[in-house]
Amino acid sequence: MADRYFTPDEANEALDEVRPLAERMVEHRRRQLEATAKRAGLVSQIQGNGGGLAPSDLAELEVEIEHHATELDRCVAQLVRLGVQVKDTAVGLVDFPAHHGEEEVLLCWRVGEESVEYWHSLDEGFAGRKPIEPLE
């Protein structure tokens, strides 16, 4: 049971706040993954001979990874406070709890979509998305 339920109109109005947060969340996740991959390369190089590395290279990547993790967590927390369920930080997939008659459903949106246009039941997930018109 959700703390808040949205109508399709309310979900679309909420996008004014949700969209920039979700976009930042996706960007921080992308940059965190890039820095993590760089760190793995440096660790591999260190395990070899470590040649050409400054002592601060690994430490700087650790700081960058932590920064993006913190900012990612901050974005997720802000979205949750708005009543949104974060489903995938990599693509910015979020759900808005809603009702369809007596049934609890989720209005589904992800970064890059213009508006909230799909819904699915609680057990279907993204693959079960349907156009929102039947809810109205």
3 falls within a domain: no
Q: Which of 14-23, 43-52, 84-93 has the lowest mean pLDDT?
A: 43-52
41 falls within a domain: yes
Residues 6+ apart with CB under 8 A from 85: 2, 94, 95, 96, 97, 106
How high is the mean pLDDT of the chain?
91
Supply the range of the domain harboring residue 21: 8-135
2 falls within a domain: no
pLDDT at 45: 73
pTM above 0.85, yes or no: yes
pLDDT value at 42 more than 90 = no
CA dist., res. 56 & res. 125, Å (int): 44
What percent of the chain clears pLDDT 90, i.e. is strictly above it?
A: 70
15 falls within a domain: yes
97 falls within a domain: yes
116 falls within a domain: yes
53 falls within a domain: yes
38 falls within a domain: yes
pLDDT at 133: 79
pLDDT, tens digit, 9 for 90 and up, residues 66-108:
999 999 999 999 999 999 999 999 999 999 999 988 899 999 9
Residues 92 and 25: beta-carbon distance below 8 Å: yes
Contacts 24+ apart (CB under 8 A), 4-11: 4/83, 4/97, 5/97, 5/98, 5/99, 6/83, 6/96, 6/97, 6/98, 6/107, 7/98, 8/98, 8/107, 8/116, 8/132, 8/135, 8/136, 10/96, 11/96, 11/98, 11/107, 11/109, 11/116
Q: How many domains does the chain have?
A: 1
